[in-house]
Amino acid sequence: MITHRLFGRGYPIVFACLIGAVTSTATATHAQGIAQLGGWVYIDRNNDGHLAFSDEANPEFVIGDVSISLFSKTNNVETLVTSMLTDPYGRYFFNNLNPGTYVLRETQPIEFVDGIDTLGHLISLNSQPIPPTASAGTVGPDSFLNIVLTANVLGDFYNFGERGLKAGYASKRYLFASAPPLNTATPEPASALLALTAIGGLLSWRSSRRR
C-alpha cells in the first residue's frame, strides 16, 4: 500500500488512488465571504454511486485528466466561468468563487463507460449554520445543476462516477504490467492506468458494457 500526504484543499480528506490509499490533509486558508466547489472523478466498480475512501472496504480508483467545467447561472442562462482537468488523484476544486448559482459539467472521457454521478453536500467554512438560501442542487446527465453557494460555504463530493474502461480501450499489455509510478514522466492519456492495477478488475470492466 502506497500513501501520500497532500496539502492545499482546505480540510482533511482521505481518498483512494493508484496502488493503494492516499491521505490528503488540507491546509489552505479560506478567504472570508468566498465560496468553493469540488469533487472527484472515479471508477465506481460496484456501481453504487458511492466513492469508497481508503478507510473503507474496497476503496475506489480515481481518474485524472478529466475535464470539468464550471458555469454560473443567472436567469436560466449559463455562463462559463472556467474549466479544469482533474489532478492525478481524480480531484477537481474551484476556489475563490463569488456567492451565486453554479452548474458543474463533466466532459465524459471517451475511454470509460458512464456511471452514476452523486450529488454533493454543503459544508460551512466558518462554523456558522448554512443559510437556508443555499442549495446542494440536483443531478443531471454528467452534470450537477442549480448549486446555490452562499458566502463561506463549500460544496464538495460532487462526484462523477465511471463504470470502467470500454472494451476497445483495454490493452492486452495492461494484463502483464503493474500500474506506473505515481509521478511518471510519461503518463498514459487521460491517466487510464490509474484504474488498471489488477487483472481481475480489468476483466470485470471489460465485461461491463452499459452503453
What pLDDT is stored for residue 182 in this prediction? 35
Amino acid at 202: L
Instruction: Tell whether pTM > 0.85.
Output: no
The sign of the torsion formed by the CA atoms of 93, 94, 100, 102 equals negative
What pLDDT is stored for residue 31 in this prediction? 78
How does 62-78 read in b/e, with b if 16+ C-beta sit within 10 Å? Answer: bbbbbbbbbbebeeeee
Give all domains of the chain, ordered by start, each with its CATH number. 5-163 (2.60.40.10)
Cα 135 from Cα 146, distance rounded (Å): 8
In order along its 211 residues, the chain shows pLDDT tens digits of: 122 222 222 222 333 333 233 333 233 456 778 999 999 999 998 999 999 888 888 888 999 999 999 999 999 999 999 999 999 999 999 999 999 999 999 999 999 999 999 999 999 999 999 999 999 999 999 999 999 999 999 999 999 999 988 887 876 544 444 333 333 333 333 333 333 332 233 223 333 333 4
- Residue 190: CB partners within 8 Å, gap ≥ 6? 63, 64, 65, 66, 109, 111
- Are 59 and 50 spatial neighbours (Cβ–Cβ below 8 Å)? no
Task: Indicate the SS3 state at residue 209.
Answer: coil
What pLDDT is stored for residue 50 in this prediction? 93
- Are 142 and 106 spatial neighbours (Cβ–Cβ below 8 Å)? yes
What pLDDT is stored for residue 34 in this prediction? 93
Backbone phi, psi, residue 118, to 5°: -115, 125
- Are 19 and 62 spatial neighbours (Cβ–Cβ below 8 Å)? no
Cα 99 from Cα 83, distance rounded (Å): 18
Cα 79 from Cα 132, distance rounded (Å): 25
